[in-house]
Structure 1
Amino acid sequence: MYRIFNKELTVEITAQGAEMKSLKDNSTGVEYLWQGDPKYWKRTSPVLFPLVGNYKNKESIYKGQTYTMSQHGFARDMEFDLVSQTENEIWFSLKDTEETKKVYPFSFCLSVGYRLEGRKVRVLWKVENINEETMYFSIGGHPAFQCPVNGKGEQTDYSICFDTDQMLTSSVIGEGGLLTEKKALYPLENRKMRITKDLFSQDALVIEGNQAHQAALEDPDGKAYVKVDFEAPLFGIWAPKGGEAPFVCIEPWYGRCDRADFDKKLEEREWGNALAPGQVFDASYTITLA
């Protein structure tokens, strides 16, 4: 376990998956990140690469060959190498192996960084294409935040606030974790969406097409206690079905699951990313505590 800190915050990250495991306020000792109880969900903030969501039938096709990969890709279960560490910034890297080549046909270098800036944690990604051909991939974040936080109220007393007052449209996930043709509409009241017991009854909300670039969790008093800002063109909001899990995920994505009628061609995936040989994809998102 690695640790970075400043006057305001302390963050802990594990080399497995380069996954953030703790996000604490130094002055109060309050933990804001879900702690990974397998009763609900064993992870805390996995990095999703080179797949966000599911391939159709867990398969993709590239140059006539079929590759099988599980949901959200393999990076979250692999050991990263520590590249550098200072008091308030840390970087890890992951490169392809013989095993990854069996499920994903490209050579790559994935770098994941965490940088503290006051009461902000900036999560940074770099994907380098070290092939002699275009590389296709998706990448996303999956941070889970305590909700309720610090034992305050019930989850149904909480809301999600966005940087828009327009109705949000979510694509609906169906059988096999694939997108259907159905849409769900979520009117906002004063930019807010109330968290209800059945909000995630159809799995994650999949908000596509730059509908919002900020989502914040608000406590029962209407105070935003954690905010996520991102440039990603789509994002997910998720908690396990049933309304019992005491956390909510806000997930910036560059990519998503396949549609149920998709033909599995890797280079044609919606919201996928194409990276030219030798080029580097840079992206980030920011978590801010109140």
Structure 2
Amino acid sequence: MAVYELKNDGVAIRIHSKGAELKSLRKPGTGTEYLWQGDPAFWGRSSPVLFPFVGKTDRNEFRTKGKTYSMTQHGFARDMEFELLSQTEDEIWFVLRDSQQTREIYPYGFVLKLGYRLLDCGVEVCWQVENESDEELPFSIGGHPAFYCPIEEGAEREDYLIRFDAREKIMSTRINENGLATDTDEKDVYPLKDGYLPITEHLFDKDALVIENEQAKEVALCKPDGSAYLTVTMEAPLFGVWSPPKRNAPFICIEPWYGRCDRVGYEGDLKGREWGNLLEPGKVWKASYQIYV
């Protein structure tokens, strides 16, 4: 595994080649670390990419090409070694290509490129999926960055707030104890006050908030006075907000998704999964999200 660093006047980042995972996001002037450092006592990762699945499949299986395959939560890319593709002063790209190993568990050809571009006060995380095969490529992809909350030493997480660029409410798809979407259309409704949602002790007792249908494009973690210290912007059709249930963990994940876990009892083909993507032969799919500090 190799380690890479990029830095400008406003932000410094560190990336590991394993999973092409962002492992540090700091302000050079203050030295403040914003990205969770992966303490396994709570959660041993910092910002894994989720590919070619987001979330769990029903019974940890999926069906395609007339066969049934096993798949772990969030896919396999996060645990694989990426190759360095290019690097400049303010941008770095990695690539993961299909192999015999990946085709045994996911029988499709793919090229996954993951990039990080420095901004004045943040970083843009870029995804590019290429289909060089002669068949459709079904895939999901998502981010899972974890940010310290609280950010100030001695502060309590329950004094902090999440701010959405929605005003009145956020509705979350219900997730069961097995990490699957429930078989009901009923949503959990979280009222907002001027866009703010308090981080209560029990906010994540039901696992992640799964917020679909572009309800918000900007999500910020805020200090008790309401001032944002970190903001994520995205064009994703859905996203998750997560912290380990019933643990009062000192971090919160804001997760842009292009895909989602199965609904309970889903037995259809991989190409029919809710929120999944189908990439035609010879085509390229691109998306990104931004983190500002």
Structure 2 residue corresponding to 1:237, chosen from 241, 246, 257? 241
Query: For 1:245-280, what per-residue CA distance to the aligned partner results, in whole angstroms no more than 9, with x for missing partners?
Result: 100000000000000031241010010000000101
What secondary structure is seen at the aligned counterpart in 1 of 2:47?
Answer: coil
Structure 1 residue corresponding to 2:94, chosen from 78, 84, 92? 92
1:115 deviation in Å? 0.4
1:36 deviation in Å? 0.3
Match in the other structure for 2:31: 29
Q: What does 1:214-233 correspond to in 2, within 5 Å? A: 214-233=218-237
The letter of the residue matching 1:197 is E
Structure 1 CA distance, aligned partners of 2:162 and 2:95? 33
Residues 173 and 203, structure 1, Cα contact 8 Å, conserved in 2: yes
Residues 111 and 131, structure 2, Cα contact 8 Å, conserved in 1: yes
1:243 deviation in Å? 4.1
Higher mean C-alpha deviation, range 98-107 or range 36-45? 98-107
Match in the other structure for 1:75: 77
What secondary structure is seen at the aligned counterpart in 2 of 1:72?
Answer: coil
Matched, 1:274 2:257: no
Matched, 1:288 2:292: yes
Structure 2 residue corresponding to 1:159, chosen from 149, 158, 161? 161
The letter of the residue matching 1:39 is A
Query: For 1:21-55, what per-residue CA distance to the aligned partner results, in whole angstroms no more than 9, with x for missing partners?
Result: 00000110000000000000000000000000011
Higher mean C-alpha deviation, range 166-175 or range 126-135? 166-175
Match in the other structure for 2:213: 209
1:175 deviation in Å? 3.4
Match in the other structure for 1:106: 108
Structure 1 CA distance, aligned partners of 2:143 and 2:168? 24
1:152 deviation in Å? 5.1
Query: For 1:68-100, what per-residue CA distance to the aligned partner results, in whole angstroms no more than 9, with x for missing partners?
Result: 110000000000000111121100000011111
Match in the other structure for 2:138: 136
Structure 1 CA distance, aligned partners of 2:152 and 2:32? 6
Unaligned runs of 5+ in 1: none
Residues 55 and 264, structure 1, Cα contact 8 Å, conserved in 2: no
Structure 1 CA distance, aligned partners of 2:178 and 2:59? 7
1:15 deviation in Å? 0.2
Q: Normalized against structure 1, the TM-score is what?
A: 0.98
Task: Figure out how many residues of one structure are paired with residues of the other and give that number.
Answer: 289
Unaligned runs of 5+ in 2: none
Residues 168 and 194, structure 2, Cα contact 8 Å, conserved in 1: no
Structure 2 CA distance, aligned partners of 1:127 and 1:152? 42
Match in the other structure for 1:64: 66
The letter of the residue matching 2:164 is F
Match in the other structure for 2:267: 263
Structure 1 CA distance, aligned partners of 2:278 and 2:217? 22
Match in the other structure for 1:174: 176
What secondary structure is seen at the aligned counterpart in 1 of 2:151?
Answer: coil
Specify whether residues 153 and 175 from structure 1 end up closer, same or farther in structure 2 by C-alpha distance, changes over 3 A only.
closer
Residues 196 and 243, structure 1, Cα contact 8 Å, conserved in 2: no
Structure 2 residue corresponding to 1:41, chosen from 40, 43, 51? 43
Residues 168 and 193, structure 2, Cα contact 8 Å, conserved in 1: no
Percent identity for Structure 1 against Structure 2: 54
